Structure formats: C-alpha cells, structure tokens
Amino acid sequence: MEVYTVTVATGTSEYSGTNNYIFVTLVGEKGESERTLLDNPGLDFCRGAVDQYKVTSPSPLGSLLLVRLEKQRYWVEDNWFCRYVTVEPPAEDKVLTFPCYRWLIGDIKVEIREGTAKTLRDDSLPQLLAHRKTELQERRMAYRWVTWAPGIPRCIDATTEADLPQDVRFDNEKRSDFEHSLHYKLAIRFGKSWSDLDDFKRIFWKLRSPIAEYCMEHWKEDRFFGYQCMNGSNPRMIKSCNKLPENFPVTSDMVQSSMAPRTNLDKELKAGNIYLLDYAIMDGIPTNTIKSKPQYIAAPLCLLYQHPDEGLIPIAIQLEQTPDHDTPIFLPRDPPLAWLLAKIWVRHSEFQVFQLLSHLLRTHLVIEVFCVATLRQLPAVHPIYKIRVSANMTRKITYLLSTSRTGSFCNIAPNVFVPNPNCPFSFSFVSGMVSLYYQSDHDVQEDLELQAWIRDITQEGYTELPNFGLPSKLNTREELSTLVSVAIFTSTAQHAATNNGQFDWCAWVPNTPCTMRHPPPTDKDAVTMEMIMATLPDVSQSCLQMAITWHLGRAQPDAIPLGQYTQEHFTEGEALELIERFRRELKDIEGHILNQNEGLELPYLFLLPSRIENSITI
C-alpha cells in the first residue's frame, strides 16, 4: 500500500471555505489512487486553511499527472475556492504542487495539473492531451465573445457581474468595498448650483491629496495648464507642431506677446518649440441631456509654446474645429475671464478623452480582449497563460466594464494599441520567460494553442477594428515577447498612469470639469463670472465627479503591486528566479524614480512600481 501526503489550501477571501464533502483522487501514469474523502477531526476547508491528509493507493502510481477534486453537497450548497494542492509521494524527497485557484460550484469534479509550465509540444501522453482539450472546450463555452457596439474591441458576453463566471468576478470584499465606499461618497450630493468659485471648497475639505490641493491653488496659471498636458493623466494628447493646421488660423501677431524676446511663431515652429492639443475627435458628437437639461461639449484646438523661462504655456485656443466669426481664437492677452473659460473648455474636453479613450478604451477594453482570448485558447498549464495570469490578468474581467460602458466612443477607436518593445517594466522579464519555454522561433510557430490565441485576439477580439495593426500569426520569440510585454505594460503601468491620478487632477472641479451646462462662448467680451459659474458643473455633478474619481483613482484596499502575486502559477526554479529578478529590477527602478523626484515641487510618483497594481482591477 502506497501512502501519499496531500495538502489542500483553501482561499483566503470571504466565503472561500466550505462545509461540503471534498474528495480527492491522485491520477498517475500507472493508475489511480483510492477516491478519498478528505475529513480530519474538526472543521476542514475553512477560509485560509491549509489541511493535510493521507491518500492511499494499492500500488505505485508512477509519475503523477493529475489531481482530481470532487465536491458534493452536505446540507446546503456551499461553494469552495481551492488555491492549490500539494502531493508528497512516498519515499521521495520532493513535493509536487498543483495550482488550482478556482471556485468549485455545485456537485462538481475537476482535474488539475502539476504546476510545471508546458506547451502543447511538451505533452505526449494521451491523458494530458485530452485534459488540455477538455479544459479549453469548457472555457470556450463559459467565455464567449460579444460585439457590444461597432467600432470598439469586442468583449466578454456578460451584461452584469452576475453573468460572469465566478472565477472572474470580484472577490466579496472587493465588491463590498466598491459598493459601500461609492455609495458613501455619493451621499454628499446636494442638488443646487454654485454661486462662486470658492464654493467648490465646500466639497473639497474632506477628500484631499497634495496634488489636488496644488491644483486648487494654481489651476488658473498658464504654466500649470501646460504642466498637466505633460504630467497629468493623459500626456498622449499633446503633439509636436511644425505647421499650423489649416483650420486653426493663428497668426504670428496674435501670439507675439506670449513669445520670448527676439523670436516669433515661425521661428519657434521651425525650432520645434510649438505643441498642439487637437480634440477633433470630439467634433460632431451630439449634445447630451441629463434630467431634461443639455450638457455641452466642444472640440478645441490649443496651441502651446515651450517658453525658455515660463515653461510650457498655452498661447491660443479655438473651441471648435471650424473657424468663423462665432468661433474666436482666445489669447492670453484677452480679458482674464474669457481666457480662463477657454482653458476650462479645453480641460473639459480633456476629461472626456482621458476617461473614455485613454483610460477605458486604451487600457480596460483593449486588455479585456487579451484576457478573454487567454481564457479561451490557453490551458492553465501553458507558459503564456501563467505569465499573463501571474503578471496582470488575475481573476477580474472588470465589473466596472460590465456596468458602465457608455457608448460615446463607438466610432473613435482607431490606433488604440501601438506595440512598443521598450516597455521598461516588463520586456526583459517576459523575454526571459519566453526564452525559457521556447528554444527557437520554430517552437513559437508550431505552438498551435499560441497561434489560436493570437487569432482569437485579432480575428475575434479586434474584428471591429480591421486596421488595428496586429498580425494573426506569431513568427518569432521577439514578436511574442513584445506582444505580451506591451499587454502587461498596458494593463499595469499604463493603467496606473491614467487611472491613479484622476482624483488628483479632477478633485478641484474647475480644473477638469466633467460636464459643461452652457455652450462655448462666442464673444470674448461677454464672458462674466456668472457665465462661468452657470457653465461649470452644479453641486450635484461636482460631488459625483469627486466621488467617482476618488473611488476609481484611490489606492485599492486589495491592491497587489506589480511583481507580487497572490496566485503562484509557476513552480519550476528557473521561472521563479526570473520572477525574483523582476522584483529586484522593479526595486531598482523605484529607487531611481524617487531620486529623480527628490526636491521637486510637484513630484510625479504614479509610476512607482509599488503603486502600480499587477492588474487592471477597477
């Protein structure tokens, strides 16, 4: 009689434990163990428990292939989350780890593999090949594509969180925190209009940050306006400008007073010191209506100048794309309130583009495609599945996406994802992992599961974006490393850069207003403080803006920093060493960033690795 020591770890989140019956069977090359009820004295499978059992077999099993777990109802149905199972074979000085990290729901039987990552070519046993095939068949039934709206990436077929498989929902603590904290912050809504800019301080006293307070003090300054173009939540909007757009008829005389001595607009254009914000993507979007009241948008163009003494400053603003007598070009020399309102309109457009495109579309929706394709096409034993899960996917296809897609950007999705091999946080880590499991480019080309994965991404996930730019086949290890690195970077560092500072830049509502209640001004001389206050969000809208940006941009209670993983999918030493090296590199990067920011009046710390989550979780 062979006796195996089996250890079973239950999840640590709320309701992970179970009082149902749990059985285990060890499956080896030479046979199966006895089907064993796991039942120690006292309570088994409590939340966070690590329970040990003895499992017997009438004869040696040979190499262990699978662990079969079965859950059966006791009195009532009680779901169970299993983290992992370890097995210590008799007379052997080794412990095999079988990662699970999934919910067992109802009377169910699941089989999990030992944790060594393997591509399809690494498996030859019919039993293991059948396991891979069955796992993916089940996943494709659970994770289905749907086209939510034309012109954007496809998404998982789910309308609400309840439609998602349990394994990709928020943990109970996350859901509770999300709902309760948001409801608490929304309780501060008042429902009346402001009368003065200082009135915005009434909702600002409790939810503060150093950057938000700096915004409150400096938001009217041209220099701070320019600073946010480069260091705010959406630095991708600003472009170098060597030639003025034909629909932005700024003359040299208009902006001469903003120039440094002994230069002019033409010289600065040629010198590369002129920049442009162009919100043409907003042009033609119809006016929205909230509670029978219209909410207006604009499609501004804003010219900026890198002044040798004052820094990056705005020098001309046009609030619509088509110049005419009702679309003046606002200048710093105009009446102060007119210039201020023009800048507010630019920042309002920035709010729309930042939230819908840079944040929701270019991180959440783009990466949801990778998440769904990974679940559909790569078995849990596949190295790329393990890299993606370990590095950024986790178990959350975001509840936020399931409940708050707005549709405002249905036709503005081109160029949402531009691969860049120089992703500093992830490329060396991913390329090391890829080299570990793919010895040559030929291995990449012959991995049928990997090729099915990239086809699912391009031909299913991005089928609404024919010019997306990704190939439908991976030919080299470098291509694979680049693609996975960019996906990880997008869902970690890029998301942190756009998401984590939104409360800082938006908490002082006049700095980045979420909505505008009057149309853009057509007469510079007619702008008054009353007009500005009537245009900015009212009390209710301002409170909502503060609540939402605080809720989304805050440090999440369950945040796991980049490089740290609650789910240990890799078990082999070489892979674990690469992960440890990645952590050391991130620590060095953190020190470098802190040194670079030392002494700055307004430090930029959103990309500290310790503040970057290892996944998009909200």
Q: Which residue numbers belong to the known binding site for Fe cation?
A: 359, 364, 495, 618
| Burial of 335: CB neighbours in 10 Å, binned 0-12, 13-18, 19+ | middle
Please list the residues that pair with 9 across neighbouring strands.
Answer: 50, 84
CB neighbour burial string for 369-406, b if at least 16 within 10 angstroms, e if fewer: bbbbbbbbbbbbbbbbbbbbbbbbbbbbbbbbbbeebe
Hey, what amino acid is at 30?
K
Backbone angles phi, psi at 291, to 5 degrees: 50, 50
**Are the C-beta atoms of residues 281 and 353 closer than 8 Å to each other?**
yes
Which token pair is 55? 């499992």
> In the sheet where 50-57 sits, what is the strand order?
50-57, 2-10, 80-88, 96-104
Q: Is residue 549 a contact partner of residue 506, using CB atoms and an 8 Å limit?
A: yes
- Binding residues, by number, are 17, 39-40, 78, 359, 364, 495, 618
SS3 (DSSP) at 302 = strand
Phi, psi of 216 (to 5 degrees): -60, -35
Residues making up the binding site for Ca(2+): 17, 39-40, 78
Judge whether 35 and 94 are in contact, CB under 8 Å.
no
CA dist., res. 232 & res. 501, Å (int) = 7
Residue 445: partners with Cβ closer than 8 Å, 6 or more residues away = 451, 473, 474, 475
Residue whose token pair is 């979420």: 514
Q: How many CB atoms lie within 10 A of CB 45?
A: 25
DSSP single-letter state for residue 382: S
46: region left, alpha or beta (phi > 0 left; psi from -120 to 50 alpha): beta
On whether the CB atoms of residues 414 and 462 are closer than 8 A, the answer is: no
Contact by Cβ (8 Å): 353, 299? no
Could you tell me how far CA 128 lies from the centroid of its own chain? 34
**Residue 467 phi, psi dihedral angles, 5° rounding:** -100, 25
Q: Which residues pair with 87 in a beta bridge?
A: 6, 96
Rounded Cα distance, 258 and 222, in Å: 11
